[in-house]
Structure 1
Amino acid sequence: MQAAILYPNAAASLLINGQWLASGASMQIHNPFNNEAVSEVSCADDRHVLQAVKSARQAFEKHRFLPSAERAAWLKGAANLVQQRLEDFARTIALETGKPIQAARKEVRRCINTLNLSAEEATRLCGETLRFDSFAGGEERIGYYEQVPLGVIAAITPFNDPLNLAAHKLGPALAAGNAVVLKPSQQAPLSALMLVQALLENGLPPGQVNVLTGYAREFAQALVSHKDVAMVTYTGGEASGEIIAKNAGIKKLAMELGANSPVLVMDDCNLPKAVAACVSGAYWAVGQNCIGVQRIYIQRSLYSAFKQAFIEQTAKLKVGSQLLDDTDIGPMINEREAMRIEQWVEQAVANGANLLVGGKREGACYYPTALDNLKDSDRLVCQEAFGPVVSLFAFDDLDDALAQANSAEFSIHGAVFTSNLNTAMKVSRELDVAGVMVNDSTDYRLDAMPFGGAKRGSLGREGVKFAIREMSQTKVMCMQLDLD
């Protein structure tokens, strides 16, 4: 059964100047579980890029001085409409990504929160007065700075959180007063289209958001390099991020390019809670999560007990259709990705790793898997797995464990489980990450908090308040008084 697609026509997925349009080429969106076609979208080309950017630029010039209350109203209204259509949005996310329906419902609730946060921050975006008299010669000057929008923002989003990550681009951009050209994931564009439709139904002016669907290789270069695009915000893989950075030219960039999240488990932790949090953090959303648990370093005295409990809980997870309420693990985004994970696991085992649980593939479904005795050179250790696979390591010395945890080139979150405040503070200080979760999984994220990378590839911050600052710039007004 297909989800309700709540934009005017499944094939007319290009939004330009407030009109849903079809193109001469289209592509199908498939349910990863059974590969059945879910819907169809149009494929944009360079000609559509020119139209979309022109539309966005004209909308920005026309509406750049709209009251913040009006921008907030678009976002609040869209949040209310998403709430009313929660089940339709959740089913669409599940169908296009393979995300289990329970996880999809959580994503919709997060999207609602993101939109409401954006609406609130739209009315809080302000500057401050400046003391020009703090330096000689400024005694008769007064003034202030304010935050003003950049202009046209190109936003490119991934498949793993197709709705909420679109909201994390659109919400802050609109709150700051920008216009947007959105390129949703080619594998999972449907829920993002539904979100844009909800904005349109709540008064969003034509051209304020334009949408281009299809294959990024056909038009992304023209989009990111366009001289009228003031900023590119991108969430996705490193290879594509590097191409975007090379093509964008001199403009603002914000990128989140993935991670390889480490967790440290101390022998003074609450073991049941640590195991449960690590299992959830590793396999939530089928492991296709940039802050999902990937490497777990366990103090040796606790290693056997942790490993046994982790295996037992992992083995209980139910794999199957993402549309069933009791499914824990649905399919990956496609069979090709499941085959990649299968290959990485087989390579690690051939290299001496022990397969503890899982290691089985059925089509696009890869069973939740854990290994130990891995080598630092194994892909599952040194690269981002982005799948339902976890590596376990025993350690004796905390400093050595921290060095191993910090060995990955990409990082966003890390975590530590301990009852010792000093240990928690030491790990929080020395983990080379952008966020440390104490007695919690690395995959915890509050949509209001700053979010981004800490190492190579780290460009800017998301999190509504912080993204709005990225998507605006300061403008100073200085007045010289004539007091004589």
Structure 2
Amino acid sequence: MMHVAVGGGRSLLIGGRWEAADETMAVVDPWTGRPIDAVACADAGHVERAVASALRGGEAMRALPTGERAHILHTAATAVEGDAERFAAAITAETGKPIRSARREVARAVNTLRLSAEEAVRLAGETIAFDSFPGGEARSGHYIYEPVGVIAAITPFNDPLNLVCHKLGPAFAAGNAVILKPAEQAPLVSIMLARLLLAAGLPEEALSVLTGRGADFGDALSSHAGVAMISFTGGARVGEAICRAAGIKRLAMELGGNGPVIVMEDADVERAAAACVSGAFGAAGQNCIGVQRIYVHDTIYDAFRDALVAAVRALRVGDPTDPATDVGPMVGVAEAERIVAWTVEAVSRGATLLTGGERAGTLVRPTLLENVPADARVACHEVFGPVASLFRFTELDEAIDAANRADYAIHAAVFTASLRTARRTAGRLRAAGVMVNDSTDYRLDAMPFGGAGRGNMGREGVRFAAREMSQTKVICFHDA
């Protein structure tokens, strides 16, 4: 059993000190159902103190030379890399992510921190040609980037280390202070990371960590006038609540997806099937860019379906601490029950269950469906679980129109041997990223990342996030 010592519930970081609270909550291993640690539950009073601390920390960050910011982030990256196995074990313990996947996440987090370090010294402005318009001939100058101020970072459970790094790294690179609210289910790796950042030389008040239930203090954090920006990754319902509370401040929102894949008649069937299996069932499908809807050309549909079913049935499901495991548990029983209920609903409306659909505690067997009604929840909502649905098509335009029906879109994919088809499809798919001959769940941490559907705002990816977390200042000299 993994245990991360957080000082008996002393998990609130405010003003450089770790504190307890009147109430604690257990962090539970989704696989065993046993508590692995306890964290403090923050309240509105903690928010007030964290914001006051962060405002002071923001001044300290603003004063740091960019080279020092880069050094802190590089030092933290090296520390995470040196403690990679403990971080991976913690990720597996609090999320149920298979250990192989957890190790990959740690490696990505190291890369994200290093990219952030490099961006700290690249975040520079440009000169401005003031003489480009009459009246400006005697003027010269430039613009620079400055930090926006205090950023509230609210993160999900499914990538509890790397997604935190995607918020903290760019924020610190740009000179901001951060108040981090990690996921209720998975706060432990955030605490571990915070300790390494402080040890790396981060100014004490530049980072606050508020663990606990978002319902207890989320509105107080989102609405606080001292918070300049909120960066949130999570569900649409919580995103809407944050927007209502936030008022006038900068928002960055990634609210989920419903990844469509189009498999053309000239696609490599085995390659496409393997990519779809990986994309649909990695992390037990708890992935905002996971494969969810697969549109297959009628001429290869049967061959593709057979290859996909065989590959899914070959997945090893079970104990996430076993390096041989492909698919571990979902994060909680309620989510597992929801997935089975959505599957049963689809079947009751005429869908065919090709494989899977069973649940044992938090473990849901990888599930494939076909003949799914377009308005069934497994098709038109974000499943966020180990379920994928197959659809036939004959004309590409038909498949593109169907792929574009979802409200939320982050990534889409097309498998084809034709460059012309790939370009045409990529141009018409309404998504923020289109993967050609690859799974929707491919993400390079340096690339721009975000949503293209309703409610999604802003972009992550280190360079792009650093600019979202900055504001320009123009400096103009009148030479006359």
Residue of structure 2 in register with 1:346 after alignment: 344
Q: Secondary structure at the match of 1:51?
A: helix
Residue of structure 2 in register with 1:231 after alignment: 229
User: What does the per-residue CA deviation read over 1:292-343, in whole Å, with 9 as the maximum and x for residues that have no partner?
Assistant: 0000000000000000010001001111111111111111000110000000
In 2, Cα distance between equivalents of 1:63 and 1:215: 28
Residue of structure 2 in register with 1:315 after alignment: 313
In 2, Cα distance between equivalents of 1:369 and 1:312: 12
Residue of structure 2 in register with 1:403 after alignment: 401
In 2, Cα distance between equivalents of 1:162 and 1:430: 33
Residue of structure 2 in register with 1:194 after alignment: 192
Q: Is the 8 A contact 2:297 2:394 kept in 1?
A: yes
In 1, Cα distance between equivalents of 2:179 and 2:131: 43
| Equivalent of residue 427 in structure 2, options 426, 429, 435 | 429
| Equivalent of residue 377 in structure 1, options 375, 400, 425 | 375
- 2:278 is aligned with 1:280: yes
- 2:175 is aligned with 1:177: yes
- 2:335 is aligned with 1:337: yes
In 2, Cα distance between equivalents of 1:21 and 1:387: 35
Q: Is the 8 A contact 2:60 2:206 kept in 1?
A: no
- Amino acid in structure 1 at the alignment position of 2:20: A
In 2, Cα distance between equivalents of 1:53 and 1:410: 32
User: What does the per-residue CA deviation read over 1:420-453, in whole Å, with 9 as the maximum and x for residues that have no partner?
Assistant: 0100001110000000000000000000000000
Deviation at 1:66, TM superposition (A): 1.1
Q: Compute the TM-score of the two structures, normalised by the length of structure 1.
A: 0.98
Deviation at 1:455, TM superposition (A): 1.4
Q: Secondary structure at the match of 1:478?
A: strand
Q: Secondary structure at the match of 1:253?
A: strand
In terms of mean alpha carbon deviation, does 71-80 or 440-449 score higher?
A: 71-80
User: What does the per-residue CA deviation read over 1:265-302, in whole Å, with 9 as the maximum and x for residues that have no partner?
Assistant: 01111111111000000001110000000000000000
Q: How is 1:14-413 mapped onto 2 (pairs within 5 angstroms)?
A: 14-413=12-411
Residue of structure 1 in register with 2:2 after alignment: 2
Deviation at 1:133, TM superposition (A): 0.6
Q: Is the 8 A contact 2:60 2:203 kept in 1?
A: no
In 1, Cα distance between equivalents of 2:370 and 2:476: 63
In 1, Cα distance between equivalents of 2:132 and 2:459: 32
Q: Secondary structure at the match of 1:310?
A: helix
Q: Secondary structure at the match of 2:205?
A: coil
- Structure 2: runs of 5+ lacking an equivalent: none
- Amino acid in structure 2 at the alignment position of 1:352: G
Q: Secondary structure at the match of 2:180?
A: strand
Residue of structure 1 in register with 2:11 after alignment: 13
- Amino acid in structure 2 at the alignment position of 1:357: T
In 1, Cα distance between equivalents of 2:60 and 2:412: 44
Q: Secondary structure at the match of 1:321?
A: coil
Q: Is the 8 A contact 2:61 2:172 kept in 1?
A: no
In 2, Cα distance between equivalents of 1:10 and 1:359: 39
Deviation at 1:10, TM superposition (A): 4.5
- Amino acid in structure 2 at the alignment position of 1:143: G
- Amino acid in structure 2 at the alignment position of 1:374: V
Deviation at 1:2, TM superposition (A): 1.5
Deviation at 1:11, TM superposition (A): 1.0
| Equivalent of residue 479 in structure 2, options 473, 476, 481 | 481
In 1, Cα distance between equivalents of 2:471 and 2:442: 30
Q: Secondary structure at the match of 1:285?
A: helix
Deviation at 1:117, TM superposition (A): 0.2
Deviation at 1:63, TM superposition (A): 3.3
In 2, Cα distance between equivalents of 1:275 and 1:62: 51
In 1, Cα distance between equivalents of 2:189 and 2:425: 38
- Structure 1: runs of 5+ lacking an equivalent: none
Q: Secondary structure at the match of 2:317?
A: coil
- Amino acid in structure 2 at the alignment position of 1:398: L
In 1, Cα distance between equivalents of 2:60 and 2:25: 34
Deviation at 1:458, TM superposition (A): 1.4
In 1, Cα distance between equivalents of 2:180 and 2:471: 21
Q: Secondary structure at the match of 1:298?
A: strand
Deviation at 1:65, TM superposition (A): 2.2
Q: Is the 8 A contact 2:359 2:365 kept in 1?
A: yes
In 1, Cα distance between equivalents of 2:152 and 2:58: 13
- Amino acid in structure 1 at the alignment position of 2:374: D
In 1, Cα distance between equivalents of 2:293 and 2:338: 18
In 1, Cα distance between equivalents of 2:37 and 2:306: 43
Q: Secondary structure at the match of 1:207?
A: helix
Residue of structure 1 in register with 2:438 after alignment: 440
Deviation at 1:64, TM superposition (A): 0.9
Q: Secondary structure at the match of 2:194?
A: helix
In 2, Cα distance between equivalents of 1:347 and 1:272: 30
Deviation at 1:62, TM superposition (A): 3.1
Deviation at 1:192, TM superposition (A): 1.1
Segments ≥4 residues shifted beyond 6 Å: none
> Please, what is the CA RMSD of the aligned residues?
0.7
In 1, Cα distance between equivalents of 2:272 and 2:374: 24
Residue of structure 1 in register with 2:458 after alignment: 460
In 1, Cα distance between equivalents of 2:81 and 2:56: 31
In 1, Cα distance between equivalents of 2:190 and 2:362: 23
In 2, Cα distance between equivalents of 1:195 and 1:106: 16
In 2, Cα distance between equivalents of 1:2 and 1:252: 38
